[in-house]
Amino acid sequence: MLIFWERRLVFLATPKAGSTAVESALEALANVAVQRPAALKHADLQTYRRHIEPWLHSATGEKFTTIALMREPIGWLRSWYRFRLRDDDEDPDHPMIGVSFADFASAYADPDGPEVARVGSQAAFLTTEADRVDRIFRYEDMETFTHFLEDRLDCAISLPRVNVPPTVDVSLNPEQEAGLRKVMAADFALYDSL
């Protein structure tokens, strides 16, 4: 999470949606940069509204604009899979050894699936029952996001490629993809609204 005090702007770091690159590029411009622990770095909208926004409002008397990135939902899950593969691939007891993306997607879709596939959802991160992040940008349209930041922060921005996971087979057959789309319906609805 990055807080730009003078610009009244807060970047919420959606996991697996380019947050590390954004933070690498903008940390020096932010008044507050929360990088660790992951629970604080990736504070979701609900946590922000409950804990951080009241503090910012009490200190400034103003509302801060929240912004975030959202990745195409199946692409987001693919990124999680690649990240989990890389997580600890030298450990012989690593839970991802021999797990295909189709297996991982199936485990994600199962509410009782293994812990390694419980990665939440972007819709749950970016929305509450009656609220959503003020400005959500598509990860796949980084240019629009970058232009917004350049205008708002009044500086040129170049985002580096960091935290890039390995290239692996992340294919699904049409039936598997259709099933995953049903499970991720809230994410697709939000993404399609952007």
What SS3 class is residue 165?
coil
Q: Is the pLDDT of residue 90 over 90?
A: no
Provide the domain count of the chain. 1
Model confidence band, residue 37 (pLDDT cutoffs 50, 70, 90): confident
Could you tell me what percent of the chain has a pLDDT over 90?
A: 80
* pLDDT tens by residue, 64-73: 999 999 999 9
Long-range CB contacts for residues 171-179, cutoff 8 Å, separation at least 24: 171/101, 171/102, 172/74, 172/101, 172/102, 172/105, 173/102, 176/102, 176/105, 176/106, 177/74, 179/109
CB proximity list for 32: less than 8 A, separation 6 or greater: 1, 2, 3, 5
**pLDDT score, position 87:** 61
**Domain extent at residue 87:** 2-192
The pTM (predicted TM-score) of the whole model is: 0.92
Mean pLDDT computed over every residue of the chain? 92
Residue 127's pLDDT band (cuts 50, 70, 90):
very high
pLDDT tens profile 39-51: 889 999 999 999 9
